[in-house]
């Protein structure tokens, strides 16, 4: 009898720790948080991409991976598997899938993305 209560107690603690862990996972601690994208010739300044400001309230990696951006792990900060160009963005690819002035701010203000 006593042994049984003890077992239930342990089960409750394990459950509580498990739920706590799930809550922590929502902070997505393992996301690369600051990526300086590979610069193309003529770029007016380096572009830093922040995953944190692209998660919204519903982290969904498939909005960008792998269709818009393949994840090629090539070392932190130098990811671009494929160059990001405005020619592609004009066609609604890469950043241009959202940064079109409707879904997100457009590409008129260069310093919104190209920073020193």
Chain residues binding ligand HEC by CB under 6 A are: 28, 31-32, 35, 37, 39-40, 42-44, 46-47, 49-51, 53-54, 59, 61, 63-65, 68-69, 71, 73-74, 76, 79-81, 84-87, 94-95, 97-99, 104-105, 107-110, 112-114
Q: How many CB atoms lie within 10 A of CB 9?
A: 10
Residue among 6 and 105 whose Cβ is closer to ligand HEC: 105
**Which residues are within 8 A (CB) of 21 and not within 5 positions of it... i.e. 6 or more apart?**
none
Residue among 16 and 104 whose Cβ is closer to ligand HEC: 104
**Which residues are within 8 A (CB) of 116 and not within 5 positions of it... i.e. 6 or more apart?**
45, 46
């Amino acid at each position: 009898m006593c042994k049984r209560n003890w077992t239930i107690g342990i089960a409750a603690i394990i459950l509580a720790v498990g739920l706590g862990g799930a809550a922590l996972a929502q902070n997505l601690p393992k996301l690369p948080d600051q990526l300086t994208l590979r610069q193309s010739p003529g770029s007016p300044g380096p572009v830093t991409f922040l995953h944190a400001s692209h998660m919204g309230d519903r982290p969904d990696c498939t909005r960008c991976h792998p269709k818009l951006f393949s994840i090629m792990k090539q070392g932190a900060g130098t990811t671009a598997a494929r160059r990001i160009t405005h020619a592609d963005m004009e066609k609604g690819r890469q950043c241009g899938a959202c940064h079109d002035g409707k879904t997100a701010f457009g590409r008129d203000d260069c310093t919104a993305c190209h920073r020193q």
